[in-house]
Amino acid sequence: MEYNELTELIEKISALLTEKNFRAVKTILDDEMPQDVATLLEELPDKDMPVIFRLLSKEQAADTFVEMSSDSQEMLINVFSDSEIKAIFDEMFVDDTVDIIEEMPASVVKRIISQSDAETRHQINEILQYPKDSAGTIMTVEYVSLKKSWTVSQCFDRIRQTALDKETIYTCYVTDEKRHLIGCVTVKDLLLHDYNDLIADIMETDVLSVETTDDKEAVALQISKYDLNAMPVVDKENRIVGIITVDDVLDVLEEEATEDIAKMAAVTPSSDTYLDQSVWQIWKNRIPWLLILMISATFTGLIINAYEATLSALLFACVPMIMGTGGNAGSQASVTITRSLAINEISPRDVLKVLWKELRVSVSLGLVLACACFAKLYLLDGLAFGNEYTWQICLTVSIALFVTIVIAKLIGCLMPILAKVCRLDPAVVASPFITTIVDILSLVIYCLIAQALLSGGM
């Protein structure tokens, strides 16, 4: 829904509310997509939210609830009666319930769990026990399981009976009496076969599956790579416990990209949206990085103080330009390599190919930039603006710039690969840390080259 459509709808609903025409509000909202109803509810004044929410049909209420921010969810739960909580959570898939529970304070969690039946409570507890970011935490426990002795016609009956969510019926899993995964069959396969054909004859027995403890990002990338509709999740004994569907994959990949981007900008990632985070949360996610980077940056000050005798005021003036360009050159390489590693375009075994490529790129980039820098300093700043840039100073600056760019690129491409090999997160080292390392190195290089070329200050 576009922003102006939303504004229009809000006005319409507000008008109907003042007329107390609740029936009309209900008719309108039951027809909208749950995602849009959630947005709408959150744009309305807080006091109206429970009133309108209670107008929704049971299914629409559950679907809408899942789409709301955790603050709004908590607010609603606090005004709900126990039977209202039960009605909503009974309509929900277990994995959505778990997602909500994970964001709620303990007292709210208790109320939700006390309203679930024993089976659901058991499933919730199982999912809550899977390690963070594992396949188990994002899987859906609702799926269609078939027996290999069934006919196509029996399978259709089974699908009709279960009638689960659209995502979860198009690939069905064939299990033995001990729930071991032995095959899979798509609704398309079923449609293309005769009603009396046996599943044993048409099922695909070579099924890709993942374990509950596998990393969710790796699973998402696999589903995306092989264009699958769903991926079965099995336990250590190859018993199917759930499936991961493509809409979960979309969420995981979007979340992982957002996390990597945050880390590259030296921010601790958060699972909340920006507007949902409090000032305190944002502060907490940013302060450690800024502090560490600031403290390490103060070492540049010590280097400058140490080389005070070597660096004239004119040479000093070029320090920010050299450090800035080195930082930019380094993050170009590191961010590119980090992203390629994240989406499996390259792997650590490509390290030599990457190094050789970056070496050639950096030398050709460095040459052009060094020449441009020499020309700019000598002709513009020196001759035109009358600063005392002799050709010796210009040469010193240009050579230092060249060396800085080459070193920055090589460090920039090596660090993320090294991080990956050491099982650290490449995104964390990708941009700000490399900039700091390059800052310090480039300064030392600059001072050493200045000392060598200008022999003891000019």
Q: Give the footprint of a copy of itself on residues 160-219 (CB under 8 A).
A: 160, 163, 166-167, 169-170, 186-188, 191-192, 206
Can you list the alpha helix ranges (DSSP code H) found in 422-433? 426-428
Q: Which of 314, 394, 400, 411 binds a copy of itself (CB under 8 A)?
A: 314
Rg value, the chain, Cα: 30
Establish if 35 lies at the interface with a copy of itself (CB under 8 A): yes
Q: Of 158, 137, 141, which Cα lies nearest the Cα of 149?
A: 158
Establish if 260 lies at the interface with a copy of itself (CB under 8 A): yes
Quote the CA–CA distance of 145 and 170 in Å, as a whole number. Answer: 11
Total residues contacting a copy of itself by CB under 8 A comes to 113
Per CB under 8 A, which of residues 38..77 are in contact with a copy of itself? none
Q: Of 154, 92, 83, which Cα lies nearest the Cα of 124?
A: 92
Min separation Cβ 14 and a copy of itself, Å:
18
Q: Which residues contact 78 (CB under 8 A, 6 or more apart)?
A: 108
Min separation Cβ 226 and a copy of itself, Å:
6
Establish if 283 lies at the interface with a copy of itself (CB under 8 A): yes
3-state secondary structure of 212: coil
Establish if 443 lies at the interface with a copy of itself (CB under 8 A): yes
Tell me the window of 8-16, 132-140, 289-297, 446-454 that interacts with a copy of itself (CB under 8 A).
289-297
Quote the CA–CA distance of 130 and 23 in Å, as a whole number. Answer: 44
Per CB under 8 A, which of residues 406..435 are in contact with a copy of itself? 431-432, 435
Q: Which of 174, 234, 318, 417 binds a copy of itself (CB under 8 A)?
A: 318
Establish if 24 lies at the interface with a copy of itself (CB under 8 A): no
Per CB under 8 A, which of residues 354..393 are in contact with a copy of itself? 354, 357, 360-361, 364-365, 368-369, 372-373, 376-377, 381, 385, 387
Q: Compute the residue count for the chain.
A: 458
User: x/- string (CB under 8 A) for a copy of itself, residues 227-256?
Assistant: x-x----------------xx-xxx-xx--
Report whether 138 contacts 230 (CB < 8 A): no
Quote the CA–CA distance of 190 and 288 in Å, as a whole number. Answer: 56
The residues facing 243 across adjacent strands are 140, 232
In the complex with a copy of itself, which residue's Cβ is closer, 371 or 452?
A: 371
Per CB under 8 A, which of residues 117..156 are in contact with a copy of itself? 156
Min separation Cβ 99 and a copy of itself, Å:
14
Report whether 59 contacts 91 (CB < 8 A): yes
Q: Of 419, 371, 423, 360, which Cα lies nearest the Cα of 397?
A: 371
In the complex with a copy of itself, which residue's Cβ is closer, 182 or 293?
A: 293
In the complex with a copy of itself, which residue's Cβ is closer, 16 or 317?
A: 317
- Strands of the sheet containing 210-211, edge to edge, are 210-211, 230-234, 240-245
Per CB under 8 A, which of residues 323..352 are in contact with a copy of itself? 323-325, 327-329, 331-332, 334-337, 339-340, 343, 345-347, 349-350
Q: Which residues contact 83 (CB under 8 A, 6 or more apart)?
A: none
